[in-house]
Structure 1
Amino acid sequence: MELITKAPKGTVDIIPGESEKWSLVEAVMTDEAELNGFSEIRTPVFEHTELFLRSVGDTTDVVEKQMYTFEDKGGRSITLRPEGTAGAVRAMLENGLYNGGYPVKLYYKTSCYRYEKPQAGRLRELHQFGVEMFGTAEPAADAQVIAMAMSIFNRLGLADDIEVSINSIGCPTCRAEYRKALRTYFEGYKNQLCETCNSRLERNPMRILDCKSPVCGEIAKGAPKNTDYLCDDCRAHFEKVQTLLKSINIPFSIDPGLVRGLDYYTRTVFEFPSKRFGFALGGGGRYDGLVEEVGGKPTPALGFGLGLDRILMAMNEMGADFGNDAKCEVYIASLGEAAQMKAFQLTEKMHSCGIAADCDLCARGLKAQMKYADKIGAQYSIVLGDDEIANGEAVLKNMKTGEKKKISLNDDFVDTYITAVTEQEDAMPITF
């Protein structure tokens, strides 16, 4: 029978064998966030469209070309979230999280939606791990989130492949002067700029620096550097961030062309480009004006987003060791109806004791059961028949070494199983 439909273009199913890898990566990220004092937040998959128009910026590719926007049955404009920060800001304000004192530290694992041409590591449904910090303007906060991201990459075995690129795009005051300089520079190339960049020339010439067109990119290389236009406060902030990163031995490079793809960024921006793959595995920066733009009081803030799709792709390509993904510790095979009942009861008893166990649920023969046990990576097996039930004993077999040990099937079943497994593990030779 043919499927009535396939997964929409630009989406993927994360199936067993892959989902375990995702869980491992997410667990590392969650642990690192909580070590740094961040708490989890979960926001709706869709928001009112004006939230993204106000926060992300109407001159960005995200708003101009990529948002999934529709009218609901009440005539309201709704958008599937294209990024995680705006929703986190809205939730922080709406739920009064600031009442618990600053800084407010949040993290999330979320899916985002952007209509663009699917390619390696860039899908229409993308997955992000993000952190947001509200209520501190200190350069130490910038350094902390960068250090946290690098610690994640280090724990995932990616640190040698990752660079840290940083820049400062200033505050609204000094950025106004920089935009004038950019506008003057790009006016001389109007005939060569793409249509989109020409439309941005008056509204937001900084977006031209982020254009993916090779022609616009080449022109942008000669553009004025924003670091030459920083006010004294922004310059001092950026220099302190650099000093702090050096003090904890995090190497970085300054990229004057780095502006990030969303309009809410101010001052420090950063990315984590992969040397091997040529694209960034994440990035972020400050957005000191966004909370006020969404409707709150002026509140400095910053954060980052890491692309889970790209990180998993990079780890797979580099042959990362994800460990043993076997879910079954012991498989209890059975011969006959009475044995099948006993196997089911013992399996459930093991579950209640926190032991990953399984038994036959498909009425298969013994040979097929053992083949299945091997397929699911069971470490141990037990075979039950009429004799085992009558004697109250069975044989526990180590599926890797073939070693066997008798265990009880009575009330002390779990205890004798644990003892047998412990003895086998203690007897294994230690190798260096």
Structure 2
Amino acid sequence: MSKSLQAIRGMNDILPEQTPLWRHFEGTVARLLDNYGYKQIRMPIVEFTELFKRSIGEVTDIVEKEMYTFDDRNGDSLTLRPEGTAACVRAVLEHGITGGGQVQKLWYVGPMFRHERPQKGRYRQFHQIGLEVFNLEGPDIDAELIVLTWRLWGELGIRDAVKLELNSLGTSESRGRYREALVAFLSEHLDKLDEDSQRRLKTNPLRVLDTKNADTQAILADAPKMADYLDDESRLHFEGLKARLDAVGIPYVINPKLVRGLDYYSKTVFEWVTDKLGAQGTVCAGGRYDGLVEQMGGKPTPGVGFAMGIERLVLMLETLEQIPEEISRQVDVYLCAFGEAAELAGLALAERVRDQLPNLRLQVNAGAGSFKSQFKKADKSGALYALILGDDEMARQVVGFKPLRGQGEQQSIAWDALAAHLATCIVQG
């Protein structure tokens, strides 16, 4: 017996009953970004592997263990994008849209791919919304990214469930000095470090700071602190960021162990975390990467950005029951028509109503059926009201109007008055 076809492990279908909440989330973000002056960019999901090796870092966990990489028919090594920043930088360089110091405030949305162990809130195909800003080097734009997300949490009703963590990694030079001090300290405790931290000590020592191993964390309590190695420029930048967050009234926590998992970060790094999703606590993260554009072949260009995980934030909305009532209702009005003449008239009437009420969610019954069966479908659709069109209504050029979700008697509405009546009822409903 042949094996039944199914999705690849960690790559999930998003079913019709789930997509309304996704659309609500994505629409809320898109509207907010429009209001803040960000423009959307769309990049391919497949890039040359070299792009991620040069940007993310060859000794990061992502490049070493998690990327989906393959050779195409031309022998080129290609990779499904594991994150969006590198691809966005490649795009702005290729098309020259940051040349001459042009400020670009960009955002994107789409799937990313990492070969991780699937678990709730962590998948092999996952979706992100990302923002990238180029050619602005001050703490004001860092603050704007954080303020923008703070406003988003408020609009979604989850502000009380997230916490902002901040750190500064300094410049590459100051980070290099800190790395040397950290390696010297950890080398003295090498035999007490967990196996993963021992490996990271040789390849990417800053990543030891965010280990989940309790014994290693105990050792790190006495480790050198990044703040003690910051250069004056990075320190002033960080103070400027904190001053702006204080001015807006956004609470935050300084986390000296926050380093992020990508090599390209410098100065500001931040994460929005929650305790509502178990182990997968980070819902949005990012920071500054002033050296990345130059590292990828461009001229020195300041950059800062973040990415948020859609799966985790949708899960948060469900967990906290922050789902607007209209999201669970996909139909406002359901039109039932009985007989071919009524079906023809109903189709024309529905289109006239849609012309007048373009935002009305009006579903016309398809597949004919008895009075009982059509009303059953109307009720199952979740509609607030049913419209009824049969021989009697046709003769009087009216439509029956019946509430489905509350009290109220059925009434007859003239065809030319239907749109105005629906507009009043849907607003009140």
Does the alignment reach a TM-score above 0.5? Answer: yes
Structure 1 distance, partners of 2:101, 2:420, is 50
Q: Which of 376, 380, 383 is the matching residue for 1:378? A: 383
Distance 1:425 1:47, change over 3 A: closer
Aligned to 2:98: 98
Q: Does 1:237 align with 2:244?
A: no
Matched with 1:295 is: 297
Divergent runs of 4+, >6 A: none
Aligned to 1:109: 109
| Amino acid across the alignment from 1:342 | A
Of residues 357, 362, 372 in structure 2, which corresponds to 1:357? 362
- Taking the aligned partners of 1:181 and 1:101, their CA distance within structure 2 comes to 36
Q: Are residues 1:393 and 2:398 paired?
A: yes
Give the AA of the match of 1:403: E
Provide the rounded CA distance (Å) in 2 between the counterparts of 1:199 and 1:3.
40
Distance in 2 (alpha carbons) for counterparts of 1:341 and 1:124: 48
Give 5+ residue unaligned stretches, structure 2. none
Contact 2:82 2:114 in 1 (8 A): yes
Partner of 1:256: 256
Query: Secondary structure in 1 aligned to 2:367?
Result: coil
Partner of 2:315: 313
Q: Partner of 1:329 in structure 2?
A: 332
> Is 1:338 the counterpart of 2:344 in the alignment?
no
Q: In structure 2, what is the Cα distance between the partners aligned to 1:352 and 1:149?
A: 37
Moved more, 367-376 or 416-425: 416-425
TM-score, length-scaled by structure 2? 0.93
Structure-1 separation of matches of 2:204 and 2:160: 36
The answer to whether the 8 Å contact 1:179/1:204 transfers is no
**What is the RMSD computed on CA atoms of the aligned residues?**
2.2
Aligned to 1:155: 155
Q: Secondary structure at the match of 1:107?
A: strand
8 A contact 2:168–2:238 mirrored in 1: yes
Task: Specify every segment of 5 or more residues in structure 1 that has no aligned partner in the other structure, as ranges.
Answer: none
CA contact (8 A) 1:129 1:305 kept: yes
Aligned partner of 2:419: which letter? Answer: I
1:147: Cα distance to partner?
A: 0.9
Indicate the SS of the match to 2:190.
Answer: coil
SS of 1:247 mapped into structure 2: helix
State the 1:198 CA deviation: 2.8
CA distance in 2, matches of 1:257, 1:266: 14
Paired amino acid for 2:82 = P
- More displaced stretch, 338-347 vs 163-172: 338-347
Other-structure match for 1:198:
198
Q: Deviations over 1:297-352 (max 9, x none)?
A: 00011011111111111111111132213232222212223223332333344344
Q: C-alpha separation between the residues in 1 aligned to 2:237 and 2:343?
A: 70
Q: Give runs of aligned pairs for residues 48-197 of structure 1, distance below 5 A.
A: 48-99=48-99, 102-197=102-197
Q: Secondary structure at the match of 1:183?
A: helix
SS at structure 1 position matched to 2:57: coil
In the superposition, relative to structure 1, how do residues 164 and 388 fare at CA in structure 2: closer, same or farther (>3 Å)? same
- Is the CA contact (8 Å cut-off) linking 2:60 and 2:204 kept in structure 1? no
> 2:64, 2:3 → 1: CA distance?
35
Could you say which residue in structure 2 is the equivalent of 1:404?
410
Aligned residue pair count: 423
Residue 344 of structure 1 aligns to which amino acid in structure 2?
L
